Amino acid sequence: MTTSYDPEAIAAATLDATRHNLFIGGIWQPAANGASFAVNNPATNMPIAMVPDGGATETTAAVEAAAQALPEWAATPAPARAAVLRRAAALMLERQETLATIMTLEQGKPLSEARGEIAYAASFLTWFAGEAERIYGMTIPATQAHKRLLVLRQPVGICALITPWNFPSAMITRKLGPALAAGCTVVVKPAEQTPLSALELAHIFQAAGLPPGCFNLITCQNPDAFADVIFNDERVRKVSFTGSTEVGKLLIRASATTIKRLSLELGGNAPFIVFADADLDAAVQGAIASKFRNTGQTCVCANRIFVAQAIYAAFAERFSAAVAALPVGNGLAPTTAIGPLIDAQARAKVERHISDALEHGAELLTGGGPAHEAGAGHFWQPTVLSAAHGAMLIAREETFGPVAPLIPFYDEASVLHQANATPYGLAAYVYTRDLARVWRVAEGLEYGIIGINDPIPSTAQAPFGGLKQSGFGREGGPSGIHEYLEEKYVSLGLE
């Protein structure tokens, strides 16, 4: 394949093997036994870097380093903690182009989306720098005249942050920002597919002046040894995880041993509902933005697109024509809108969902197969299926790929019922111009995040998190920092 850019030359010019080590107690180091594993570029299916394969020894050392750093960081005045976060955010933005290129190389998303993610990731640091300065306590009027009732807010302690591959920077800073702002110290384990962006973040925090041991980073291929140490060590007070509901359930069980606080941002099955009174062009563009962001690999991507029967044919025609025009390719190419899927397993799931839907009566409007012409990676044609229904796998499970099933509906009550008929409750989208309906559906949808005429509601200022089996806890927004704070009640007798 000929390209106007050369992925190998870009990788050689951007990646620096000397930056790829474990970061423990402020010291960059290899795994004690020298083990390492390869990071692949999902667009070429070729290795681009080797990173250390940390295990129990390194994780234990990281917890020890976090424990040593904790008293001083927790006692550091909030404005000083905030200043470190602001410096780190500024350094991220200064290095935006390099960080975005590294992200595209290891994750595959189009460079324009990677640039956007770096800005999004930095915004969590800025937002939580502000929140650090607003960790207010409380006084409560007592019933007895000689008593004063106080509420203090203090850092939870050492936190383990386990992050996914689909947003290699932002899902770290959305946890790391509030943890450090609150005065906690952390041990981070990034996804094995995307450790390079995490390593760059650790370099940035070191350059921003974060004291050694506050941010420790363990890259590893198999999470079991890491999880074993984390869940059995009493000093680790909290675990924050973004990933599948299946793994979330395992972590809930594991957390029982030492009763850890958990924040879990798990799977979704987002409905995207287009009512007959919607602005059709905006709904088509919104559905594309929500469904095909990051090649359909976000927890909040539209998974089921419900369209009112009265506008179904018009929507299906415009939507499938626009989807068919989305360019698939290496994320480094400036024209690419759809990058590769992360791996063969992801592609197999997409394939399974499409064949199940076709077997159960769906009609293929565009796409439907691998996009081999885009390269050796796991590329898939952006796909639209018509006449989908709730019994299909594609409507029951999160596809996490570039496939949009259209489901016709007849009335508001039935679409609300169908939208809520899932164990998941992360994000939902509604397109309508009827204000009374806006209130009814916003109140009726059992979801933690609702975008009304807004396909991308995520932002650092707003709470992000799910209901039901999509998890618990909120990241971002004014409540985000409370996930990392303990509330301590003090009763003060004055006699």
- Region from 254-262, 279-287, 292-300, 359-367 binding ligand SIN, contact rule CB under 6 A: 292-300
CB 483 within 8 A of CB 240: yes
Residue nearest to ligand SIN according to CB distances in the complex = 458
398 is catalytic: no
Give ∠ CA 375-378-379 in degrees, rounded to 5: 65
CA–CA separation, 59 vs 326, rounded Å? 43
Which residues, 6+ apart, have CB-to-CB distance to 416 below 8 Å?
Answer: 441, 444, 445
Sign of CA dihedral 336, 105, 196, 231: positive
The amino acid that residue 156 corresponds to is V
Q: Is 193 in the site for ligand SIN (CB under 6 A)?
A: no
For residue 281, count other CB atoms closer than 10 A to its CB: 10
Rank residues 167 and 431 by Cβ distance to ligand SIN and give the closer one.
167
State the distance between the two ends of the chain, measured CA to CA, in whole angstroms: 83
Which one among 290, 298, 330, 432 touches ligand SIN, defined by CB under 6 A?
298
We find the least distance from the C-beta atom of residue 253 to ligand SIN, in angstroms, to be: 22
We find the least distance from the C-beta atom of residue 105 to ligand SIN, in angstroms, to be: 20
Rank residues 298 and 432 by Cβ distance to ligand SIN and give the closer one.
298
Q: Is 219 in the site for ligand SIN (CB under 6 A)?
A: no
Classify 193 as helix, strand or coil.
coil
Q: Is 354 in the site for ligand SIN (CB under 6 A)?
A: no
- Region from 45-53, 55-63, 293-301, 358-366 binding ligand SIN, contact rule CB under 6 A: 293-301
With CB under 6 A, what is the number of residues at the site for ligand SIN? 8
We find the least distance from the C-beta atom of residue 300 to ligand SIN, in angstroms, to be: 5
Instruction: From 456, 101, 92, select the one nearest 298 (Cα to Cα).
Output: 456
Rank residues 267 and 375 by Cβ distance to ligand SIN and give the closer one.
267
Which one among 166, 219, 269, 469 touches ligand SIN, defined by CB under 6 A?
166
Rank residues 298 and 303 by Cβ distance to ligand SIN and give the closer one.
298
- Of these residues, 265, 398, 475, 483, which one is catalytic? 265
CB 400 within 8 A of CB 349: yes
CA–CA separation, 162 vs 170, rounded Å? 12
Q: Is 299 in the site for ligand SIN (CB under 6 A)?
A: yes
Rank residues 225 and 299 by Cβ distance to ligand SIN and give the closer one.
299
CA–CA separation, 441 vs 431, rounded Å? 11
CB-count burial class (<10 Å; 0-12, 13-18, 19+) for 318: middle
Which one among 44, 242, 336, 470 touches ligand SIN, defined by CB under 6 A?
242
CB 15 within 8 A of CB 51: no
Rank residues 66 and 89 by Cβ distance to ligand SIN and give the closer one.
89
We find the least distance from the C-beta atom of residue 297 to ligand SIN, in angstroms, to be: 8
CB 272 within 8 A of CB 429: yes
CA–CA separation, 102 vs 100, rounded Å? 5
Rank residues 166 and 216 by Cβ distance to ligand SIN and give the closer one.
166
Q: Is 346 in the site for ligand SIN (CB under 6 A)?
A: no
CB 78 within 8 A of CB 264: no
Q: Is 191 in the site for ligand SIN (CB under 6 A)?
A: no
- Region from 128-136, 138-146, 282-290, 295-303 binding ligand SIN, contact rule CB under 6 A: 295-303
CB 66 within 8 A of CB 213: yes
CA–CA separation, 375 vs 373, rounded Å? 6
Phi, psi of 431 (to 5 degrees): -115, 120
We find the least distance from the C-beta atom of residue 257 to ligand SIN, in angstroms, to be: 27
The size of the chain, in residues, is 495
Q: Which ranges in 408-474 belong to alpha helices (H)?
A: 412-420, 435-444
Q: Distance between alpha carbon 147 and the CA centroid of its chain, in Å?
A: 46
We find the least distance from the C-beta atom of residue 266 to ligand SIN, in angstroms, to be: 9
Which one among 167, 226, 409, 484 touches ligand SIN, defined by CB under 6 A?
167
x/- contact string, 454-483, with ligand SIN (CB under 6 A)?
----x-------------------------
Query: What Å distances lie between residue 255 and 249, 262, 316, CA to CA?
Result: 10, 8, 46
Q: Is 104 in the site for ligand SIN (CB under 6 A)?
A: no
Q: Is 424 in the site for ligand SIN (CB under 6 A)?
A: no
We find the least distance from the C-beta atom of residue 265 to ligand SIN, in angstroms, to be: 6
Instruction: From 134, 129, 183, select the one nearest 159 (Cα to Cα).
Output: 183
x/- contact string, 300-319, with ligand SIN (CB under 6 A)?
x-------------------
We find the least distance from the C-beta atom of residue 166 to ligand SIN, in angstroms, to be: 5
- Region from 99-107, 219-227, 298-306, 406-414 binding ligand SIN, contact rule CB under 6 A: 298-306
Query: Can you give 475-492 as a three-state secondary structure string?
Result: ECCCCHHHHHEEEEEEEE
Rank residues 381 and 458 by Cβ distance to ligand SIN and give the closer one.
458
We find the least distance from the C-beta atom of residue 242 to ligand SIN, in angstroms, to be: 6
CB-count burial class (<10 Å; 0-12, 13-18, 19+) for 289: middle
Interacting residues with ligand SIN (CB under 6 A): 166-167, 242, 265, 298-300, 458
Q: Which residues participate in catalysis according to the annotation?
A: 265
